[in-house]
Amino acid sequence: MGVIRRQWLPGRSTDADEDRANAVHRLREDGARRWRETAAARELEGSLISLAGLLGAVVTDPQEIPVGRLDDVIVHWTAASAYPAVTGIVVGTGKSEVFIGTRWVEMSAPATVRLRDSALYARGAQRRPGEVSLAHDVLDRQVIDANGVDMVRPADVYLAVVRGSLELVAIEVGVRALLRRLGPRRLRRRVRPGRVIDWASIRSFAPARERGVQRRGRRSELAGAAGVGLRLGVAAADLKALHPSEVKDALRAAEGEPGGETP
């Protein structure tokens, strides 16, 4: 019986060789992509402020003396603001809560809250028109797509300084974000976003269904009502979760920095 030997010709490769080369190429691309996303996530630790990290944080005066704990962050959300500006914080002092406007507050990543002046103006915590309490109205609320389909709930909310203004920019969903929030405080302050949804994708609050009818609600008029969720402006199939590199590029674009996409 003769032995049939495969002839190897210069410049040619078998299908198996091509498949192997393609597999190696894909692995290298995946590795490079993971490296970029990890680097972007680390960079965002100095840019994004996590609501989960802020809640319960000690609020200090200019002399670093504790004055209370942070219970909530308030934004003003209207039809004209895709990214609502933070208007103040709710600080727990003993058995009472007070509202302190942003002009008196300095917040920085990961979870530092300091008052600018000891002699500041504070008022009782009371909802005003257009105001949304992020911990009470957004965190863990049901997200509903444009077709009324229930989706995942926000496990964290992100703030960022954009052109000198502290704004609500995104929410994060997923088990990893939830576990980080429920874990030790040192983990809550490690902002490593994974599945981020641009806040501009959210159009309004969605009231609870009554007898099978889904009523529509405007941006902030239904905030805090029982059963209220967040309504997206797109269908679930069209929603894209942002990767850390995309979040970083979006923040750069908002600031007008090189390397960011044009808004």
Q: What is the pLDDT of residues 24-61, one digit of tens each?
A: 556 555 455 554 544 545 555 667 888 988 999 999 98
State residue 219's pLDDT score.
Answer: 75
Q: Which residue has the higher pLDDT, 217 or 252?
A: 252
- The average pLDDT across 151-175 equals 87
- The average pLDDT across 254-262 equals 55
State residue 89's pLDDT score.
Answer: 93
Give which of 58, 56, 60, 48 is closest to 190, Cα–Cα.
48
Write down the pTM of the prediction: 0.75
State residue 14's pLDDT score.
Answer: 65
Q: What is the pLDDT of residues 79-91, one digit of tens each?
A: 777 889 999 999 9
User: Where would I find the beta strands (DSSP E) of the chain?
Assistant: 48-50, 58-60, 66-76, 85-93, 96-101, 105-108, 112-115, 122-124, 131-133, 143-144, 156-162, 165-173, 195-198, 202-206, 229-232
Q: What is the pLDDT of residues 173-223, one digit of tens each?
A: 888 778 777 777 666 666 777 788 889 889 889 886 654 555 556 677 788
Q: Which residue has the higher pLDDT, 19 or 67?
A: 67
Q: Which residue has the higher pLDDT, 28 or 147?
A: 147
State residue 1's pLDDT score.
Answer: 47
Q: Which residue has the higher pLDDT, 67 or 127?
A: 67
Q: What are phi and psi of 260, to 5 degrees?
A: -95, 155
State residue 24's pLDDT score.
Answer: 57
